Every structure is written in C-alpha cells, then in structure tokens.
C-alpha cells in the first residue's frame, strides 16, 4: 500500500495503488521529486524516429503527436495520434521494439522521464509496472479496434468512426471537430483517398448528418452514425466522444 515515508514523500508500494495513479504520478513520488523536466516541441517537429536512440519516456502535457511509419515506397502510413495524458516511447524501452516516427502536430509540451529512471522504476516498483501494463493494454485495445476497422469496414464507415474519434462535446451537447481537418488529413488517417473522403463528407452534409465549415465540423445526427458503426462492429463500437 501507499506508505508515508520519513522524508515526506508518498510511495506507491502496492500494485493496487497504480489503479489510482498514472505512470507519471508514480515516477514522481518514487523518485522523490516535485516534477519532471519539461520540453516544448513546435508544431511540425519530428520528436522521434526509428533510427534514433530512445532516451526518454514522454508524458504528453498539451498538444498532439502523430505516429506514423513509412512504406517501402516512402509513403507515410498513419499509425495513431497521441494527446494530453498519453505517453510515448515506453514500449521502445522495455524490449526490442522499433518506434514509429513521432511528429508534433501542434505545439506540444511533454514531461521527460529518463531511460535510466524508467529502468530503475521498472525493476523495483510493482505499482509502476502495473500502471505500465495497464497503459499498454489500453493501447493494444485501441490499436486492435483501428486494425479491425482498417480490415473490415468500408471507407465511409471508417470515416464516420474517425469523425467520432476526433470530435469533442461542446457545452451545448454538440459533437464538434475544431479546427476542421482537411480532407487530405482525414484520408491520411483512415488510409483512403482525398476524393473519396470529400465525396462522403458532401453526402453527409447534404443528408443533414454533418454541418461542415472552414472552421469546424459539427455532427448533427450522432446516433445515426453510432448505430451504423455498431452494425459493422457487431454492436461493439466503443468510440468515445
């Protein structure tokens, strides 16, 4: 269990404690520090590439980080996008895992946990390992769903799922994507072509499912989209708003 030490630091000593604490929280308490070092990457900066040595785990505080790989022809293949609360490069530090390219999509602030501190925590702290395993499991579930979508769903349903994934609920209850992504960006994220995405967005707008503008996309018929995805996902669509 969490123990109050003589030096005033709280230590997460029992794996159950990791249910309440993130890897970042546990690292700070176990290392006996007030905070981790911070670094900001301007939008467009390549933060990590497969050929570079991985020296840190990055806990994302603000911003967005796109993960992608390159095909044999040099084409970028979208892998995932990380946001505040996610962490980057932990898998590369625990095994022979070649990381993807990681690029800041927006100005991105991260907190840094060094490779040596990560290894020390992984060796001695059960709570840290529990949080690490939980984080990996959640990521596997997320990537498993994306893989299923890429293999089994037609383009239009993949697009609908991605729109839900990108949307945030505003104070009035409407699901909104702002700023509005380009059609090319949406096509990149779902492995399709810009022309096909443009055609489907136009259809959804015409049918009153979406309201598209230069600044935002508003989902007007959320349940209709969720029901269609659920039909294709055998009723197991778990896309969060």
DSSP for residue 32: T
Which domain covers residue 224, as residue numbers? Answer: 154-232
Classify each residue of 40-56 as buried b or exposed e, where b means 16 or more C-beta atoms within 10 Å of its C-beta. Answer: ebeeeeebbeeeeebeb
pLDDT the model gives residue 96: 63
pLDDT tier for residue 234 given thresholds of 50, 70 and 90: low
Same domain, residue pair 117 and 193:
no
Is residue 6 predicted with pLDDT exceeding 50? no
Same domain, residue pair 138 and 167:
no
pLDDT the model gives residue 124: 94
pLDDT digit string, tens, across residues 126-173: 999 999 999 989 989 998 988 888 898 999 999 999 999 999 999 888
pTM: 0.78
Task: Tell me if 237 is assigned to some domain.
Answer: no
Is residue 59 predicted with pLDDT exceeding 70? yes
The rounded distance, in Å, linking the Cα atoms of 159 and 173 is: 21
Same domain, residue pair 144 and 204:
no
Task: Tell me if 26 is assigned to some domain.
Answer: yes
pLDDT digit string, tens, across residues 76-107: 999 899 999 999 988 778 766 677 899 999 99
Same domain, residue pair 10 and 29:
yes
pLDDT the model gives residue 155: 95
pLDDT the model gives residue 232: 86
Is residue 120 predicted with pLDDT exceeding 50? yes
CATH number at 125 reads 2.60.120.10
Helix (H, G, I), strand (E, B) or coil at 104: strand
Edge-to-edge strand ranges of the sheet holding 168-169: 168-169, 175-177, 217-219, 210-212
CATH number at 228 reads 1.10.10.10
Edge-to-edge strand ranges of the sheet holding 101-104: 46-48, 101-104, 64-70, 76-83
- Taking residues 178-203, report their average pLDDT: 95
């Amino acid at each position: 269990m969490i123990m109050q030490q003589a030096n005033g630091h709280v230590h997460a000593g029992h794996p159950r404690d990791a249910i309440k604490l993130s890897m970042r929280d546990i690292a700070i308490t176990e290392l006996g520090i007030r905070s981790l070092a911070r670094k900001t990457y301007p939008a467009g900066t390549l933060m990590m590439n497969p050929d570079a040595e991985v020296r840190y785990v990055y806990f994302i505080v603000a911003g967005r980080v796109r993960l992608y790989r390159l095909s044999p022809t040099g084409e970028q293949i979208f892998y995932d996008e990380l946001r505040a609360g996610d962490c980057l490069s932990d898998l590369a530090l625990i095994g022979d895992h070649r990381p993807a390219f990681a690029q800041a999509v927006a100005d991105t602030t991260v907190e840094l946990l060094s490779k040596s501190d990560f290894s020390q925590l992984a060796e001695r702290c059960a709570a840290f390992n529990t949080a690490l395993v939980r984080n990996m499991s959640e990521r596997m579930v997320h990537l498993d769903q994306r893989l299923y979508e890429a293999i089994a769903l037609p383009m239009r349903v993949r697009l609908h799922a991605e729109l839900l994934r990108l949307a945030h609920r505003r104070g009035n209850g409407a699901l909104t994507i702002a700023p509005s992504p380009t059609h090319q960006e949406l096509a990149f994220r779902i492995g399709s072509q810009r022309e096909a995405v443009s055609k489907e967005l136009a259809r959804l707008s015409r049918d009153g499912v979406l309201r598209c503008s230069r600044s935002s996309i508003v989902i007007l018929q959320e349940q209709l989209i969720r029901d269609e995805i659920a039909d294709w996902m055998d009723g197991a669509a778990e896309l969060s708003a």
